[in-house]
Structure 1
Amino acid sequence: MGSERKASKGTVQIKTSNDRLQLVFSFGGKRHYLSTGYTDTKANRKLAEMKSRQIELDILCNNFDVTLERYKPQSQQVVFTPSVTPVVESYASLTDLWDSYTEYKRSSLSPSTLAKDYHKIYRCINVHLPMRTLDKAVAIRDWLIANKSPLSAKKILTQFSACCNWAVKSQLIEDNPFEDMASDIKVPKGDYEETDINPFSVEERDRIIQAFKENRYYKHYAPLIEFLFITGCRPSEAVALQWKHIVSNFTMIRFEQAVVVSQSGLTCKQGLKTQKKRIFPINNRLAGLLKSIQPVDVSSETKVFPSPEDKWIDVHNLTQRAWKNVLFRLDGMKYRKLYQTRHTFITMALKNGVDVKDVATMVGNSPEIIYRHYAGQSRELFLPEF
């Protein structure tokens, strides 16, 4: 084995041993030497590098497989039969294809997409799926349908198909066994966050805000919840606000960044979901709310809605703990997702006569989306005399 210097903690080093590439790293106070089975060629070096990045990402995300099974080559299965020489049947490995596909897409994807969406697929393949080779594509589809929501199963199969389409074009496999599988899955309309429109009433909105204010454990989040209801912004945009974004003497808010999940945890990134930035007008109620929570020694970089530890608020944790806990304790309150605060604002704005184009500008949607998903629901039908 070569005499390369020792890798730092959390870093995977590639070495050679008996003309085979080996991954060397430390975890849990133990030094690991994992053979890839690859000979030391330029092409195999790239495969080894992908494996090393997987291990580094798993260590970073606390998903490391201490058995190391997840990181061993899976592209071949040895089948033993009695009284004959063992043969090797080559089955394309979904694990290996997804790793290669992710590496191919890496330069065109944001860190949050890689850490959240692509790593979620990676975990599905390596942690949950009981079968991982392309000859089991139908069984994989059936398992996903049985164990995932229709929307999740459809998304995963869509990604598998995209991966295999790439693999076909790259001449890694001959055909795509997942082709058209996703199109057969019907997703209930309400499963889509942006189109799952079930707004709260004014009374329900006010009860929720008051419940947060009175809650012993979660009253810290009351200003944020009220802010979401009276601005209709996305939760990721609200938690990313800093006082430098409250401009023109409390008359405007400049939304221009969002807190997302990345490989290193929560990250504040520039830009919004559908645009680079937008301006939101502040009315008297909103101005009063912001002034009531502004610190005395505020700076431009101070967070408007910090966590209790003065960090970025994790919207997922906020939903799973505070939001669910408070709503489940409200008698007669039908549970709805935190994102319904946005739908509530848009619906109320339309009912109060705000022009569709103005609503679209304030919340960062197109007028077409507002017309299609909100305007028809918020107007009462009226048949004139004729």
Structure 2
Amino acid sequence: MPRKASKGSVQIKTSNGRLQLVFSYQGKRRYISLGFDDTVQNRKLAELKARQIELDILSGNFDSTLLKYKPQPTEDTTGFTPVLTPTKASQPLLSELWDKYTEFKRPSLSPSTLAKDFSKVSRCIDLRLPTRSLDKSVAIRDWLVANKTPNAVKRYLTQFSACCDWATKSQLISHNPFKGMAADIKIPKGDIEETDINPFSLEERDRIIEAFKQNRYYKFYAPLIEFLFMTGCRPSEAVALQWQHIAEDLSTIRFEQAVVVSEGGLVCKKGLKTQKKRSFPVNRQLTVLLTAIKPEKMGSDTKVFPSPEGTWIDVHNLTNRGWRSVLSKLDGIEYRKLYQTRHTFITAALETAITMPDGRIKMLDAKDVAKLVGTSPKMIYEHYAGKSKELFVPEF
């Protein structure tokens, strides 16, 4: 049985019948595959290696390349017979490659990508997969297919393949065992948030807004919910708004940043999902809302929609608590994700006629709506316009 190690010490584990050392150094998890079979004699050698690493860390002599601790062939007194060398060249585990690949990519990745995407892959490898052996890539794929959604399976296999492509170019492995696997996974339509379109009716929208205003526990968030429905912006864009982004006369809103999850928590980053920034004209309804919530005293960095503690609102937490709780009490309204506020605005904007100052009646086209919400006309045409408007044959 593996020894029980105190925090910070080196643990001895078994992977596919071979001994492995696992420990953390400077916040990074390290793996050393010894290549030895799990026998009593080899475990004693592993214990010696573990003690050596612990002592080197304590004394400041740790070899970060790990070469000092990897098994070296030893010879008997004749000088010819190697002792306790692995029966075949040991191959790095997927977990080891992923750690190295993450460090290689770290300088070019955003904090949110590291915290959400890369950390999620790391947890799956360390805690979920039935094996981390590259020789078992098909078994890994089959386990993912059996236990994850198609969208998640495709994401994981894509990441594994990218990691192994890098490892092949870095001469850490001879070939990529996951190559081409992701392409075989088909994603059902509507499985992606941007295209999972099931908007609320305007009557449902108004009931939800009113329910938040009347809710004892979540009425604090009512202005944010109303704002999402009235602008169609992404929730991450709304919670990142500061009063410096709203014109002094409340005529326009400038979206140019978003709140995302990072390794250290919520952070605000410049830029939006598909563009650097966009301007949004404020109508009468929005003017009333913004006037009602505008504080008397504020700085340029004052948040438009702060959390009760004055920090950034955690959209994920709001969705799982407030949004889900309020909607569960509304009879006749099917539960849908918070992101459907965006789809509701886009659909309504395409279907609602506008009376111009000169009395003309105008309908917004896909290009107009795309500009308002920060997406492409192609996206609007493919996922909204074709479904939202009733077809008819005009009389010539």
User: TM-score by structure 1 length?
Assistant: 0.80
Q: 2:256·2:278 contact (CA, 8 Å) conserved in 1?
A: yes
Any stretches of 5+ residues in structure 1 without a counterpart?
1-29, 37-47, 56-70
> Equivalent residue for 2:176?
176
Question: Aligned with 1:123: secondary structure?
Answer: helix
* Structure-2 residue corresponding to 1:323: 323
- Partner residue of 2:205? 205
SS of structure 2 residue aligned to 1:189? coil
2:367 — aligned with what?
357
**Contact preservation (8 Å) 1:252, 1:282:** yes
Q: Which residue of 1 aligns with 2:376?
A: 366
Q: Which residue number corresponds to residue 228 of structure 2?
A: 228
Contact 2:91–2:173 (8 Å) recurs in 1: no
Q: Residue 12 of structure 1 corresponds to which residue in structure 2? A: none
Alpha-carbon shift at residue 138 of structure 1 (Å): 1.4
Q: CA deviation at 1:334?
A: 1.1
Contact kept in structure 1, 2:35 and 2:85, CA below 8 Å: no
Q: Does 1:79 align with 2:18?
A: no
Shift of 1:375: 1.1
Query: Does the CA contact (< 8 Å) of 2:35 and 2:86 recur in 1?
Result: no
C-alpha displacement of 1:248: 4.2
Quote the residue 1:137 is aligned against: 137
1:10 aligned partner: none
For 2:194 and 2:118, locate their aligned partners in 1 and report how far apart those are by CA, in whole Å.
Answer: 21
SS in 2 for 1:226: helix
1:248–1:138 CA distance, 2 compared to 1 (3 A): same
Quote the Cα distance in structure 1 between the aligned partners of 2:100 and 2:321. Answer: 37
Q: Matched residues in 2 for 1:53 and 1:188: separation? A: 42
* Superposition map of 1:58-137 within 5 A: 71=29, 73=31, 75-79=33-37, 87=86, 89=88, 90-137=90-137
Inter-partner Cα distance in structure 2 for 1:283 and 1:51: 55
Q: How large is the RMSD of aligned CA atoms in angstroms?
A: 2.5
Tell me the equivalent position of 2:74: none
Cα distance in 2 for partners of 1:53, 1:350 equals 54
Larger of the two Rg values belongs to structure:
2
User: CA separation in 2, counterparts of 1:191 and 1:52?
Assistant: 39
Structure 1 residues 224-303: aligned runs within 5 Å = 224-303=224-303
Partners of 1:117 and 1:52 in 2: CA distance: 23
Equivalent residue of 2:139, what SS? Answer: helix
Q: Indicate the SS of the match to 1:269.
A: strand
Deviation track 1:219-256 (CA, whole Å, cap 9, x = no partner) reads 11111001000100000000000111111400000111
Identify the residue that residue 313 of structure 1 maps to in structure 2. 313
Secondary structure at 2:8 match in 1? strand
State whether structure 2 residue 39 is matched by structure 1 residue 32.
Answer: no
Change (3 A) 1:287 1:127: same
The corresponding residue for 1:218 is 218
* Shift of residue 125, structure 1, vs aligned partner: 0.9
Q: Is the 8 A contact 1:244 1:300 kept in 2?
A: yes
* Code of the aligned partner of 2:233: C
The secondary structure found in structure 2 opposite 1:375 is helix
Shift of 1:130: 2.6
Matching residue's letter, 2:317: N
Check conservation: 2:8, 2:24, Cα contact below 8 A: no
- Answer yes or no: is the 8 Å Cα contact 1:76–1:91 preserved in 2: no
What is the SS of the residue equivalent to 1:73?
Answer: strand
Contact 1:80 1:87 in 2 (8 A): no
Amino acid at match of 2:348: M
Structure 2 vs 1, CA of residues 384 and 329 (structure 1 numbering), >3 Å: closer, same or farther? same
Q: Kindly, what percent of the aligned residue pairs are identical?
A: 64
1:375 aligns with 2:333: no
Report the CA distance shift for 1:88/1:316 in structure 2 as closer, same or farther (over 3 A). farther
Contact 1:79–1:88 under 8 Å retained in 2: no
Contact 2:257 2:268 in 1 (8 A): yes
Moved over 6 A (4+): none
* Count of aligned positions: 330
Is residue 158–residue 182 contact of structure 2 (8 Å, CA) maintained in 1?
Answer: yes
Which blocks of at least 5 consecutive residues in structure 2 are unaligned?
A: 1-5, 13-21, 41-82, 353-362
Aligned partner of 2:340 in structure 1 is: 340
Structure 2 CA distance for aligned equivalents of residues 246 and 309 of structure 1: 22
The one-letter code of the counterpart of 1:73 is: Y
* One-letter amino acid of the counterpart of residue 265, structure 1: G
Q: Give the Å deviation of 1:186.
A: 1.9
TM-fit CA distance, 1:79: 2.8
| Alignment TM-score, normalising by the size of structure 2 | 0.78
* SS of 1:332 mapped into structure 2: coil
TM-fit CA distance, 1:328: 1.6
**Cα pair 1:74 1:93 within 8 Å, conserved:** no
Q: Return the offset for 1:96.
A: 0.8
Partner Cα separation in structure 2 for residue 81 and residue 35 of structure 1: 16
